[in-house]
Every structure is written in structure tokens, then in C-alpha cells.
Chain A
Amino acid sequence: MALDAESEAIGTLLLERGALTVDQLVAAEDLAEGWNVSLVQVLLSRRWLTTQELYAQIATYHDLPLVDLTSEPANDDLVRCFDPAVMNRFATIPLKEEGGIVTVATSRPGPQSLLHIRDTYGPRSRIVVATHLQISAALQQAFRDRHSHDAVFALAEQDPDMSAQQVVTPPQVLLIYAVLSLFLLGLAFAPVATLIVLNVCLTVFYTGNFLFKGLLVWIGGAAQETSSRAIAAEAQLLRDEDLPAYTVLVPMFREPEVLPILAQALRNLNYPLAKLDIKIVLEEGDHDTIEAAEKLDLEGVFEIVRVPPSHPQTKPKACNYALRYAHGDLLVIYDAEDKPEPDQLRKVVAAFNQSSPDTACIQCRLNYYNARENWLTRMFTLDYSLWFDLMLPGLERMGVPIPLGGTSNHFRIDVLRDLNAWDPFNVTEDADLGIRLTQKGYRVGVIDSTTYEEANVSIPNWIRQRSRWIKGYMQTFLVHSRRPVHLWRSVGSAGVFGFVFFIGGTILSGLLNPIFWAIFGVWMVVGADAIEPYFPLPVLYLSLINLLAGNGLLIYLTMVAPFRRRWTDLAPWGITVVGYWVLMTVAAYKALWQLISNPFYWEKTQHGLSKHTAAELADAQMDGPGMADPDIAPAQAGGAGA
């Protein structure tokens, strides 16, 4: 795509004024043509000149004054008179009104903005230039309270049935009460029969659970091979100029140490940096991380979004807040320590192109870069390999609602906004959103591209993290089972079945395991006499099948899981998964207790504990553009074009 006249003129101006060298200008123009973006967008994605310097030249070119919104802040009352979404889209903001003349700041002066300003603020408006980051910050300042409120309550107010704000609804309370009463009555009047019935239900549930998981792995293992090849092929053929703008949200909290790793991982993406809208989402009070981010002097495509303090202080709330300032057509969430495969965004674009129009989200796989650090990281890696490499593709193939993983889920931003995005009251907002998307008639796809994360290396830290996940699954189960008929109508029988076994099964197996282990222990120590009254022969046989074949199968599935990645050295560790189940049980009971006592509390997982992270940090600092990039780095700058 040929360079537009404005870009050419600005380029010439920058050259004449010595802001750019000839080589830099040539490289920037090549990128702008290749990426189909303006020269300014390319320059914002480089660090050849500061944002302030760039905007000063833009202002000069348009013969407009450059204002510094930190010293000349916008009138918040005036700003609030206009639609924040429109202001965000056009990168404009009214600063003040004097004598009926509105002074409007824009970061994109040009014919299109001029028309918009005339239409919105009147023909006599006075136009000034401000940096895009300052305009965004001013918008955030003006709409701080409103957007903060919306980030927390939009879903609960507009679609209360889908919000976890109310942990259990009155009908659910009644149901739980009735079931408990029935159980107690049964124990009072027919204790043996009641325990047998309970036993039968739980045993059948266990059998269903392991059969379902076996089926998922069978189907999931075979799925995707063809589609993966097609997606990979299209991803390679995609032209940079056709790629959509992409918002990358990176919610962080007190993690200043991993910022360089994150920045480097995002720079390594095989995607035009100028088409990325990267938002590092930080809590306002997290001064250390904010300071560290500012010190990194990141490219102009990085923006720090400061989330006002409010309760609940959760990641989904922060993402909801940042979503209001997103510019992309697609959006992805990464955690701070994530290392996505470089071609991931391209594969997602290809996957959206090849998917049906109702596809609203593409989930990528997650796995760990420190898999072999200790027993826990090995087990965690087997767990994730089973979950993301085999089970999720199986769910996709079977049409079962997919609980999204914590990161690397890529959304169509219009759908996300339409559904009020994430539920800030749900501590596994991603899993909940996956189910909600399916209930709302959208499809979630799964593709073969991996984001590598840091596996938890410490058991207490792991239990904190897992208890939050299980609590979130409990919330998700409670939310989506509120209207069983609606659920059945929207996701079908297979969907309900899968939802019950995949979400419910994960919760229930963790809670029930110790009970069955105890029964088994009693049987082995005391003998069959102690349990025979509660285990009629058919139930005993079924329990025995569960114990031997069921657990054997689950162990085997854990062993199969790493084969797709050829990590055969991890397979024998699958035999120790029983120890991992014990930890899951501890986490499940902690989760249950928290659901009752503190449902919205977000158990923070501490990152950066791995020894690999220190090495990553050193690498990132070595590879950072400030150290490794030459003045002109066409190869890296080209990124996607290379």
C-alpha cells in the first residue's frame, strides 16, 4: 500500500528537522507501506524519537499548537458531556469552552478528525494537538468514577442472571436446603438405604466422570490436526497490511520484576507492532509497578492504564476498565509472565477467518517453560497438557461449552463489549465467560498455538492459585445452573452433560476424593465387613472398577498428555499424579470454605519464584531494544514482514 501524502510530508519534515536519519525514514516508510498504517503509527512503535518529539513535529506540520495535558488539564465536566467511546475512537477530547468556542485536543490531526471535531464540537472549535497517551489519560481521569462503576457492575446490572455477584439465588438456596433436608430425613429414618442411594449416585458420577474424560482425550487428540495445518498455512500467507488492529491487555499487580520479560515477549510477536494496542493494566495504588513501567521508556504502542481502587479488586474488573480504552478489532489477555509463540496473533486471525461468523473467541494453549524445575512443575505441566492439548479440543469437537483458560484467549472486541465482558465477581472470570459466550449463541474455538507461562514452583502458592480456580469454578457452576432449562436450550444436551462433568466434575471429584480414600482405607484395614452394608455387590463392583480402571485411566491420560509435545520424559511422572490429586483436594476444601466466607476474594498467585524467571529477566534485559536494537532494526522492526 502506497504511503499517504500526510505521512510523506511528516516524514520529510522529520528528516529536515533532524528528528530522523535518512535510513530511519526509509525503514519507517517501508514499514508503513508494508503494514498499511501511517508513518506516525510506525514511529510510535519504534523508539527512534520520543513521543513528545514526534507529536511536536506533527503539530508543526499541521500548524497547530501542542499542549501538555498534565500542565493544562481538560475540564472534566466538559469532557463528561460527550461520549467517551467516540472520543476514544477518534482520539479527541474537549479541553475547555470559552465564549462558545470549544478547544479540542487530538492526537490524530487530519481531515477525518477535523470533520469529526466540526460535527461534534461545532464549526468554531479550536484544535490543538496532544499525545495519544495524554488524551487517553485525560479520558480516564474524566470518566474515572463512571467507568470504574461500570467495570464492576455493568454485567450485574444489565444481565444479573449471568453475574456471580449473588453467590446463590433464592431458588438455589431452597434446592440446597431441600436436598440437605431429604438427606437428613433419610439418615434419620432409613440410614443404610440413604447411604446406599448416596453411594450409588456418587459411584455412578465417578464412572461418568472418568469415561467422559477418556472420551474427551480420544476425541480431542484426533481433533485439530487438519485444522491446525490449515490455520498455520493461512497464518503464513496473511499479509501484514491485511492484519487487523489488536489490543493486548496485560493486567498486572505488584509484579515490577517481570515487566521487561513481558515487553520483550510482546515485541517478539510476529505482528506489526504498530497495529498493536498494548495496555499494561495496573492498579492505581501499585506504585512500584507503575514506576517500573514508566522507567522502561516503552514504545508508544504501550499504554499504562491505571485502574481506580474499588471492590472487588480483581483482574476482571481491571480488564473491564481497560476495555473501555481499547482500540483493536481483536483483543487478547496475557499475564505478565506469558511468552506467547511469536505467530500466535497471526494464527488467531487466520482461525477467525476460517471459523464460522458466530465464533467470538479463540483459546490458545497454555503450557510451562519451567516444566522440569521440580515435581510440582512437572505435574502442573502434565495437568495443563492434558487440559489444553487434549481436553479442550475434545470439548470444542463435542460442542460442549469451553471454560476459557486464564490467558491467551482472543476475542472479537465488539462481542466482548456487547456481553459486558468479564464478571468481576467471578474469580475465574475467563471460565465463566467461555460458558456465557456459548449460552449467548457464540462459539469458542481452540487452536494449536501455545503461550508459555511460569509454573508454580511452591506448593502453598499452588494451593492459593488452585483454590481460587476451584472457587471460580464453583461460582461458574452456580451461575450457569441457575436456569437449567435455559442452559439446556442454549447449549443442548451434550453441552449440559459436558458442563456438568467438566465443571461440576472438577469441583466434586476434589471434594469427594478424601471420602472415598477413607472408605478404601477402612476396607483395607478393617476388612469388607465394615463397608458391606453400604456397598451392595453391584455398587462394590462398580466402585472397584472406579478404583482400578477409573483411576488407572486417569493416570494413563496424564501420561498420554505430554506426548503431543514429545515430552516423553515427563510421562512416567504421571504415576505420581495421585499426590497431585491430594493437593487438589486440599485446594478444593479451601475453595469451598472461601466460597462461603469470602466469595469474591482474589487469592493472588506470586509470580517470579522460578529460577527460570531470573534467567528470562536477564535475557529480556539483554534483548531489549534499548540494548540490542541498532538504531535501525529493519529485521525486528519488520517483525511480521520478515
Chain B
Amino acid sequence: MTRTATWLAAGLPVFLALLLCLGWTEAQGFTSDDVTELWAKAIVQIDGPGTFTASDAFYPPVPYALTLALQSWPGDHLVPVPFILAAVAGALILLLWFANLHRVAGMSVAGSLLAVALLGLNPFFLRALADGPETILTILGTWLFARGIVHLRLTGNAPDMMKVAVGLMIVALSDSYGLLISLGALPFLIVAARPSMITASASGYLFAMFYPVAAAIGSLYFVSLIFNSSLVPQLLETPNPVGTAEHLLILSGLGPIVIVAALRNIRTPRLFMPVMAAAGTIGGAYLLNLGLNVEGDPLIAMAPMLGVAVTALRFWPSGRLREPVIVALLAFALAQSVLIMRLTSVPETRDWARAISGQGTQADQPTQQAAAFLTGRSGIMLDVERNPDMVTTLHNVRGLLIAGQPAYDWALEGGLPQARYILVPRMAEGETVTDRVLRRFPALAQNRLSGYSEIYENSRWRVFEKTEF
């Protein structure tokens, strides 16, 4: 009990600090797309009508299930539920890192605290936090995987094998990019393996290592099948065009610290090889992502390297200068990461960097204005899955007409719309229409839908009201 109380006492301020950080960026007008989407899904599922039929995948299931659980907690949720989850997971990670460095690696309390503070303040960590539970859980899974892979090389026992599997499962089920991390791990698991493990059968070794991921994905497909949901469409994101120089810049944030820590053990192959394999896994996933665009933001794709960095530092050999060197490396990584955030051209991370430095963005103002306009109205037809920001701004779906309700389904399946209001996004010329209501009734774009007339518009939204009953 005392131990639990100590953990809680230590975790609470860290949690509050992280939540404060998230609140600060939100107050500056930044909320990541992932957070918005996740929270909107939870709001619709929990607060929406029981008849709501989601066409989007429930993937990734771990953050989604956790968000649903928290959203179902009674009361008003003024703080975005994914923020709370991300802050809890972030605090947990920082505490686990502290325990790992202090208790397992034998660093002093001050040294461990300083190291964890530098990790927690690293912009890659804070950016991952702002991206929501998906990314922060991916960091947790990567750390477990990296720990497991090193321990597996050292001991070869079952729990370490299970750690590797659990780590891979967490990343694969927490974020679609986690699937790439799992894929990236494929060659590196062989690099990290104890020679005795692959002597009998390298394929058998790999098969057992990847079975949990394959079984988890297979299970998801099965569930998706029996509940008539989908899995694949959500996996790919819109790529952000980033040049080679910027990719190198991004890699320079966390890459050096991992490489230096790994090289420190170059004469101990049983440590050097698995640490390099863990780093190679993230590097491999990053490379794969360049072609597949599963994670649109390359900075987020690099954030799981933090987990590898902690594992690499934990195995830094004992010595008088160990702690100062570790702290210096982490300080360098932090400074370099700050520079990267200032220079990046990736829109969402750039917005976040502006928000965290107190330069407010007005990106969500049109949505707030439209939501204010709709306050007190009901029977508003909206494609909630394609417009999650409106759902989160409204905080509920009480006045909305959504998929699963007869009036909505009737209209989308070829009938005449019966909704009192229709809310659709304003589309720029030539922009691909994703909103299914707008796709079904393209005349809305020209305000020519029979029986409806536009009653509100701003740079982001258009509201139509039924004129004929």
C-alpha cells in the first residue's frame, strides 16, 4: 500500500504538469487531428444514439477502447478525454523510466530525476503527448520492446520474450504506425537474437516473435468482420512533403544519443547488437513510412526512438562520468530537438511549436463560430466521422442527425433529405470531397439543393436550412 501511495504521490504532479502542458497548447488553439478524431469517435459512440453505425475502423483499438471507457464515465467532459489518457500514459512512462534508471541501472536519485526531466521536456516527448494516447502508447510499447530485446539477448528466458511480444503488440494496437514498427522489427529481431536461439531454426524464432502481432491483427480482422466494421481505410494518412535535408534534421534529434549509447557498448556485442536492433527497428519503420505514409508527420514517426534511447542509456556501463555524460547527452538531444521543432515545415508540428511557445493560432475559430451559431438548434445532419472537430467543439451530438438514424440513412441511401439543417464543410476549388453528405448532395456546394437554403457560412463551414416541409 505504501508503495502504491508513493507511486501515486509521485505520479500525480507529473500527470498534472503534463495535463497543464496539453491545456496550454489547447488554449493557444492547437489540438492534434488524432486527439480530435479519437475524442469525437468516443463522444459519438458513448453519447450518441445507440443506433449509430460507424463505418470507420475501430483501429487502433487500445487508445480507442481506453477513450471509450473514460468517456463513459458520468459527468461533463470539459477536458478532452484523450488528453487525460495521454497525460496518464505520459506520467506512467516517466515514472517507469525513473524507476528503470534509478533502481535497475543504479543511477542516483538526482541523476535519474534530471535525466527523466530532460526526457519529459524533450519536444519529441511533448509533441507525442500532444498527438494523443496513440503516440504516447507507441513510445511505451517501443520502450518495452527495446528492453525486452536486450534482456532476451542477455537471458533468453520466457518473460523477456513476452516483453518483446507485448511491446510489439502495444505498438501495433495503439497506432497504425505501430504496424510499421512491427514490420521494421522483422530483420532486426534476427540481428538481436542470441545465436543459440537461431541455430535450431531462425524461421521458428521469428514466427514465435511475430505470432502475437499477427494474432492480434487477425483477431481485429475477425472482429471487424463479425461486427461489419472496417480496418484498413484508416491506416494511411496524408503525407507531408518533407525534403531530404529536413529528414536528416529530424533524425539528428534522437539518433545521435542512441548511437553514442550503443557504441559505448560496442565491445559487448550482447548489448550493442540488441540496442542497435531496437534503433534499427524505429529507423526501419521511419524508412518504410516514407513510402507508405502511415504516419503523416515524420517527427511523430521518430518520437518512439525516445524509448530506445532510454533503454540504450540504461545499459551505459558504470563509471565515474556515467551520469554527467548521460545528462549531457540528453541535454544535447533536448537542445537539438528544440531546434528541429523551430525549423520544421511539417504543418501540425509547426502549429504545435507555435502553440507551446505561446504564439496562439486561430485555426479552430471558424469551427467555434459555427458551433456557436448552431447552439440551440437540433436536427442538424452531419457526417460526424468526416468532421470530428465539429463534434468535439459541440462537446456532444444531442442536436445532430447522424449515421444510424433513419432520416440520415434514408437521405444517404438515395432519399430526399428530411433534416431541418445540413452542416457541411466548405471545400476549396478542386479539393477532394470526403464529406459523405456533400458527396451525396453536391448541389449544396453551389447552394442549389432543392428545398434548402444557406443560412450561415464562414471560411470552414456552411449551414443549410430546410425551406420546404
Chain B: minimal CB distance from A383 (Å) = 15
A73 on the interface (CB 8 Å rule)? no
A462 to B289, CA, bound (A): 50
Which chain A residues lie closer than 8 Å to B156 at the CB level?
A: 563-564, 566
Contact B201 A568 (CB under 8 A): yes
B156-185 CB contacts (< 8 Å) to partner A:
156-162, 165
With both chains docked as a complex, state the minimum distance between the C-beta of B204 and any C-beta of chain A, in angstroms: 4
Main secondary structure of the interface of A (DSSP, over half): helix
Contacts of A217 in B (CB 8 A): 158-159, 162
Complex interface: chain B residues within 8 A of A564 (CB): 156-158
Produce 1/0 per residue, B172-211, CB < 8 A to A: 0000000000000000000000001111111111011001
Given A552-B215, A556-B215, A571 and B159 contact (CB-CB distance below 8 Å)? no
Closest A residue by C-beta to B207: A572
Please measure, in the bound complex, the distance between the C-alpha atom of A92 and the C-alpha atom of B170, giving whole angstroms.
Answer: 70
Question: Which residues from chain B contact A221 at a C-beta distance below 8 Å?
Answer: 157-162
Query: B226 contacts which chain A residues (CB < 8 A)?
Result: 528
Interface residues of B in 128-162 (CB under 8 A from A): 155-162
Interface residues of A in 540-572 (CB under 8 A from B): 544, 548-549, 552, 555-556, 559-561, 563-564, 566-572
Which of B112-120, B216-224, B389-397, B438-446 makes up part of the contact surface? B216-224
Is B204 a contact partner of A548 (Cβ separation < 8 A)? no
Within 8 A of B (CB), among A561-585: 561, 563-564, 566-572, 574-575
B200 touches A568 (CB 8 A): yes
Bound complex: CA of A225 vs CA of B160, how far in Å? 13
Contacts of B212 in A (CB 8 A): 552, 556
CA distance A548 to B160 in the complex (A): 23
A217-B158, A221-B158, A221-B159 known; A567+B200 contact, CB < 8 A = yes
A527 to nearest B CB, angstroms?
10
Interface string of A183-210 (1 = CB under 8 A from B): 0000000000000000000000000000
List residues of chain A with CB within 8 A of the CB of B158.
Answer: 217-218, 220-222, 390, 560-561, 563-564
Q: State the Cβ distance, B255 to closest chain A Cβ, in Å.
A: 32
Chain B residue nearest to A220 (CB atoms) is B158
A571:B219 contact, CB within 8 angstroms: no
Interface of chain B, main secondary structure? helix
Q: Which of A549, A559, A566, A575 contacts B199 (CB 8 A)?
A: A566
Q: Check B155–A225 contact: CB distance below 8 A.
A: yes
**B208–A559 touching, CB < 8 Å:** yes
Among residues of A, the one whose C-beta sits closest to the C-beta of B157 is A221
Chain A residues in 8 Å Cβ range of B216: 552
CB 8 Å contact bits of B355-375 with A (1 = contact, 0 = none)? 000000000000000000000
What residue of chain B has the Cβ atom nearest to residue A214's Cβ?
Answer: B162
Which one of B161, B197, B204 lies within 8 Å of A570 (CB-CB)? Answer: B204
Of the residues A559, A566, A572, contact of B196 by C-beta under 8 Å: A566
Does B208 lie within 8 Å of A560, measured CB to CB? yes
Q: Which of B161, B202, B205, B208 neighbours the largest number of chain A CB atoms within 10 Å of its CB?
A: B208
CB atoms of B208 and A571 under 8 A apart: yes
A220 to B158, CA, bound (A): 8
Given the contacts A221-B159, A572-B204, A559 and B197 also touching, CB distance less than 8 Å: no
Considering the chains assembled together, what is the distance between the CA atoms of A222 and B196 in angstroms? 19
Q: In the bound complex, how far is the Cα of B165 from the Cα of A328, in angstroms?
A: 47
Cβ-defined contact, A222 with B159, below 8 A: yes
Contact present for B201 and A560 (CB under 8 Å): no
Given contacts A225-B157, A563-B161, A564-B157, contact A575 B200 (CB under 8 A): no
What is the distance, in angstroms, from B424's C-beta to the closest C-beta of chain A? 34
Chain A: minimal CB distance from B127 (Å): 32
Contacts of B205 in A (CB 8 A): 568, 571
Across the two chains, which residue of chain A brings its CB closest to B199? Answer: A566
Return A243 CB to nearest CB of chain B, in Å.
31
Given A559-B211, A571-B201, A575-B211, 6 more contacts at CB 8 Å?
Answer: A218-B162, A548-B215, A560-B158, A561-B158, A566-B156, A567-B200
> Can you give 8 A-B contacts (C-beta < 8 A)?
A222-B157, A222-B158, A549-B219, A560-B161, A563-B197, A564-B156, A564-B157, A566-B199
- B residues adjacent to A (C-beta < 8 A): 155-162, 165, 196-205, 207-208, 211-212, 215-216, 219, 222-223, 226
Which 6 residue pairs of A and B lie closest in terms of their CB atoms, listed nearest first? Answer: A221-B158, A569-B201, A571-B208, A548-B219, A568-B204, A559-B208
